Amino acid sequence: MQIVPQPCVRCGELIPAERIEALPETMVCVRCSKEIGGEFHVIVTPEKTSKEGSLKKNYGGYTTRKIRKPIKPRDEE
């Protein structure tokens, strides 16, 4: 599959195909991602395996959710 460089939604520069290949969800270039402290909020939630109120330790795994931060064009910040 041919990967086409996409323009960064923040500064308009093209995001290199290598970055899109590594991170297909990305909408910003490396520089903007650094400037806004990452494109996503990562929320880690322990999975509940024991009943509510149980003292048993939770040996379950963790669910991670990524929430995209609102990204504004750099000019509007």
- Burial of 25-39, coded b for 16+ CB within 10 Å and e otherwise, reads ebbbbeebbeebeeb
Closest CB to Zn ion among 8 and 26?
A: 8
Using CB under 5 A, pick the residue from 11, 20, 23, 36 that binds Zn ion.
Answer: 11
Within 25-44, which residues bind Zn ion (CB under 5 A)? 29, 32
Q: How far is the CB of 14 from Zn ion (least distance, A)?
A: 9
Cα distances (angstroms) measured from residue 20 to each of 28, 36, 43, 63: 10, 18, 23, 24
Q: How far is the CB of 75 from Zn ion (least distance, A)?
A: 12
